[in-house]
Amino acid sequence: MITHTVQGVAVRNIERADSAVIDALARCGAATVHEAQGRIGNLNPYMRPIFSGARIAGSAVTILAQPGDNWMVHVAIELCQPGDILVVGTTSPCTDGYFGDLLATSAQARGVRGLVIDAGVRDVRDLTDMNFPVWSKAVSIKGTVKNTLGSVNVPLLCAGQHVMPGDIVVADDDGVCIVPRQNAEKVLKAAQAREANEGEKRQKLASGVLGLDMYNMRPGLEKAGFRYLDSLDELA
């Protein structure tokens, strides 16, 4: 069992989920997927997209990086396959700009779909023009060095979430969700079931039906002792 971080290694071969399942998860979006797997897997909401409108999913190629050092990103790109997403965690908190347009060019050439980094990024204008989406903690002009070893494709923490190489990353304007590879199909089914459901609900609510009635919440409120008052004066 792998329980603690290892430094100085790269794992060449990782298992990935079925690409059709991954793409279908992307269409569901991060919030629905998060809901569908029981409200777990969310990255900290300080992770924000550098441009809006992207909605992607892919297999995590994980990068454990030292603060201010992006050496391992170069190592990771060689191990990427089309459909992968780079996921970077650091051994100490850092906001430096680990990744810019050159790395994005290289990553896109390998078919990488995007980057999720618990640190900073730069060249955001170029990345936007390239349509290379990034979710990051910061945007920073401060670059990095290539001096100290981290690891690639090891389990790591990214923005408060545990990520295994090969886990599915689902990311959009709402944030980022991690789905364990083994659960991909099960979560997809649950997500699609939620979605099927939502169209009808949306229509009802648009027509003026209240959530209180549609979800039958009134008995629960009453049971919990909820009281309606006619005016604020009754609270005096």
Is there binding between residue 226 and its own copies (CB under 8 A)? yes
Size of the site for its own copies (CB under 8 A): 111
User: Residue 61's CB: how many other CB atoms inside 10 A?
Assistant: 28
Ranges within 191-220 binding its own copies (CB under 8 A) = 198, 201-202, 205-212, 215, 217, 220
| Phi, psi (degrees; rounded to nearest 5) at 165 | -55, 135
Among 18, 20, 82, 105, binds its own copies (CB under 8 A): 105
| Phi, psi (degrees; rounded to nearest 5) at 6 | -115, 140
Is there binding between residue 20 and its own copies (CB under 8 A)? no
User: Residue 28's CB: how many other CB atoms inside 10 A?
Assistant: 24
Which residue in the block uniquely carries the two structure tokens 């030292």? 66
Ranges within 111-140 binding its own copies (CB under 8 A) = 120, 122-125, 128, 138-140
Beta strands in 51-107 (DSSP E): 56-65, 84-90
Which residue in the block uniquely carries the two structure tokens 């919030």? 31
Among 78, 131, 186, 222, binds its own copies (CB under 8 A): 78
Task: Give the whole-angstrom CA distance, residue 195 versus residue 137.
Answer: 30
| Options 19-27, 89-97, 184-192: segment touching its own copies (CB under 8 A) | 89-97
Residue 18 C-beta-side C-alpha neighbours within 13 Å: 10
**Smallest gap, in angstroms, from Cβ of residue 20 to its own copies?**
22
Among 71, 81, 192, 195, binds its own copies (CB under 8 A): 71
Q: Which residue, 22 or 170, has its beta carbon nearer to its own copies?
A: 170
Task: Give the whole-angstrom CA distance, residue 24 versus residue 41.
Answer: 18
C-beta of residue 65 within 8 angstroms of C-beta of residue 150:
yes
Ranges within 164-193 binding its own copies (CB under 8 A) = 164-165, 167, 172-177, 180, 183
Among 84, 85, 88, 100, binds its own copies (CB under 8 A): 100
Ranges within 41-60 binding its own copies (CB under 8 A) = 41-42, 45, 48, 52-53, 55
